[in-house]
Amino acid sequence: MIGKILGTGSCVPAQSWDNNKLSEMVDTNDEWIRERTGIVTRHVAQSGESTAALAAGAARAALENAGLGAEALDLIIVATVSPENLVPCTACQVQEALGAGAATCFDLNGACTGFLLAMNTAQAYLAQGIYRTALIVGAECLSNLTDWKDRSTCILFGDGAGAAVLQAQPKGRYAQVTHSEGDRGAVLTCASRNRREFGETGGPETFLRMDGGEVFKFAVSRVPRVIAELLEKEAVALEEIDYFVLHQANARIVAAVAKRLGGDPERFPLNIAEYGNTSSASIPILLDELNRAGKLRRGMKLILAGFGGGLSYGASLIVW
Ligand code: UT7
């Protein structure tokens, strides 16, 4: 058995901040942000637009796209590093919002690789015949974890959610390779606010902190490597891949990965200009855009690749 993607959806906050707005908050400018990252705007959640609400919005759109009702779901996994609550988990909040009473629900923290890890987990359950129909969501309100006084990070991140509905089918193809490098975790961190030593006010450690240069180097070396590993394992040629749907962290990272692999940049779609880096949501939002633009046809081969906090990274091969 294999999980086939029957539908995708996404949901982002209504309000969008352009680079000029950020230049009023920190010492930066539109030209620097565009040139160094490719980002032009990012959606920023306002009151009421919680991680769970965005996740539920993306989930509804994915169910509609799949032509299924919420009662069909028997598994919901939400990948997030920015839930409003530790308990109940965001997936249970999505279950309630959808009325998906038959589903088993849990969250997964895989940082920017989270959506891929959620997909791998769902695929394993579906392959075993344990569940039949799964909803996987990547959802973030990174604006809650962003230090809006730190120009080296605040220009990068955005809020949003993307989702996919998978259903077990006897035939199809799915393959994945993932890796983690816990000994390098210090280059991208965000401490929990629920630590006694931080007292009531939290602390600077409770915002996203990053050695941007190190993360950049990590990404452009590991992502081509893991994609090559996956292609070799599956005996698939680079030219057979129709789209490489990469985590949107920086347009220069995507371009560097395409160059290192020797792939046609046209097959490495980008949407970071509008959304910024939405961590676990970036891959499913991009997938949904490709789907809704009619660019995905059944039988096409796609590689999804994520990388980020942990450090962690991975790639998956799907046949649409
Ligand atoms: O989702 C996974 C996690 N994140 C990532 O994958 C991010 C990976 N890293 C990156 O995307 C890039 O490293 C950044 C976009 C974060 C930074 O770009 P960079 O080209 O590596 O710039 P830099 O940190 O080397 O800084 C270059 C200069 C510095 O000034 P000096 O020392 O050359 O005078 C910075 O102080 O740019 C300065 N700078 C800025 N200037 C204007 C840093 N941030 C800004 C800013 N606006 N926002």
Q: Tell me the per-residue pLDDT of 293-315, one tens digit each, with 9 for 90 and over.
A: 999 999 999 999 999 999 999 99
Closest atom, ligand 1, to C-alpha of 28: 47
Residues with C-beta less than 6 Å from any ligand 1 atom: 28, 32, 36-37, 112, 151-152, 155, 188, 210, 212-213, 215-216, 219, 249-250, 277, 308
Least confident of 200-209, 213-222, 232-241, 302-311: 200-209
**112 an active-site residue?**
yes
- Choosing from 112, 141, 154, 190, which is the catalytic residue? 112
Give the C-alpha separation, 112 to 152, whole Å: 18
Return the amino acid letter for 228.
A
**250 an active-site residue?**
no
For residues 65-74, give the mean pLDDT.
98
Give the C-alpha separation, 136 to 143, whole Å: 22
Q: For residue 194, is pLDDT > 90?
A: no
- Choosing from 154, 190, 247, 250, which is the catalytic residue? 247
13 in Cβ contact with 45 (< 8 Å)? yes
| CATH domain 2-171 topology | Peroxisomal Thiolase; Chain A, domain 1 (3.40.47)
Give the pLDDT score at 200. Answer: 75
Q: For residue 160, is pLDDT > 90?
A: yes
Q: Name the 3-class secondary structure at 232.
A: helix
Are domains 2-171 and 175-319 of this chain identical in fold?
yes
DSSP letter for 162, please: E
CA of 283 to the centre of ligand 1 (A): 22
CA of 188 to the centre of ligand 1 (A): 14
Q: For residue 193, is pLDDT > 90?
A: no
194 in Cβ contact with 86 (< 8 Å)? yes
Q: Which residues contact 20 (CB under 8 A, 6 or more apart)?
A: 30
Closest atom, ligand 1, to C-alpha of 151: 48
Long-range contacts of 13-17, Cβ-Cβ distance < 8 Å, separation of 24 or more: 13/43, 13/44, 13/45, 13/46, 13/49, 13/54, 13/159, 13/160, 14/43, 14/46, 14/49, 15/43, 15/44, 15/45, 15/46, 16/41, 16/42, 16/43, 16/44, 16/274, 17/41, 17/42, 17/43, 17/44
CA of 212 to the centre of ligand 1 (A): 6
Share of the chain above pLDDT 90, in %: 95
Closest atom, ligand 1, to C-alpha of 112: 1
Q: For residue 202, is pLDDT > 80?
A: no
Q: Which of 52, 113, 131 is nearest to 87 (CA)?
A: 52
Q: b/e string for 196-220 if b means 16 or more Cβ within 10 A?
A: eeeeeeeeeebbbbbebeebbebbb
Q: For residue 164, is pLDDT > 80?
A: yes
Radius of gyration over every alpha carbon of the chain, rounded to an integer in angstroms: 18
Closest atom, ligand 1, to C-alpha of 22: 48
Angle between helices 282-292 and 114-127 (to 10 degrees): 70
Give the pLDDT score at 156. Answer: 98
Give the pLDDT score at 134. Answer: 98
Closest atom, ligand 1, to C-alpha of 307: 2
Give the pLDDT score at 162. Answer: 98
Give the pLDDT score at 218. Answer: 98
Token representation of residue 58: 């993306």
Q: Which residues contact 96 (CB under 8 A, 6 or more apart)?
A: none
Angle between helices 212-234 and 251-261 (to 10 degrees): 40
DSSP letter for 257, please: H
CA of 190 to the centre of ligand 1 (A): 18
Q: For residue 38, is pLDDT > 90?
A: yes
Give the pLDDT score at 23. Answer: 97
For residues 81-87, give the mean pLDDT.
96
For residues 193-201, give the mean pLDDT.
80
Give the pLDDT score at 142. Answer: 98
Mean pLDDT, the chain, as a whole number? Answer: 97
Give the pLDDT score at 263. Answer: 87
> What's the pLDDT tens digit per position in 168-188?
999 999 999 999 999 999 999
Distance of CA 315 to the CA centre of its chain: 12
Q: Which residues contact 205 (CB under 8 A, 6 or more apart)?
A: 189, 190, 191, 198
Q: Which residues contact 293 (CB under 8 A, 6 or more apart)?
A: none
Residue with CA nearest ligand 1 atom 47 = 28
CA of 257 to the centre of ligand 1 (A): 18
Distance of CA 191 to the CA centre of its chain: 20
Ordered by start, the domain boundaries in the chain are: 2-171, 175-319
**277 an active-site residue?**
yes
Choose one of 184, 250, 280 to mutate for the ligand 1 pocket test, by most ligand atoms within 8 angstroms of C-beta. Answer: 250
Give the pLDDT score at 201. Answer: 74
| pTM as predicted | 0.97
- Note if the bond before 284 is cis, omega within 30 degrees: no
Residue with CA nearest ligand 1 atom 6 = 249
**Measured distance between the N- and C-terminal CA atoms of the chain, rounded to whole angstroms:** 15
- Choosing from 65, 120, 277, 291, which is the catalytic residue? 277
Strand blocks (E) in 122-264 = 133-141, 159-169, 174-180, 188-189, 209-210, 243-246
> What's the pLDDT tens digit per position in 227-266?
999 999 999 999 999 999 999 999 999 999 999 999 899 9
Confidence of residue 196 (pLDDT cuts 50, 70, 90): confident
Q: Give the CATH superfamily of 175-319.
A: Thiolase/Chalcone synthase (3.40.47.10)
> What's the pLDDT tens digit per position in 112-155?
999 999 999 999 999 999 999 999 999 999 999 999 999 999 99
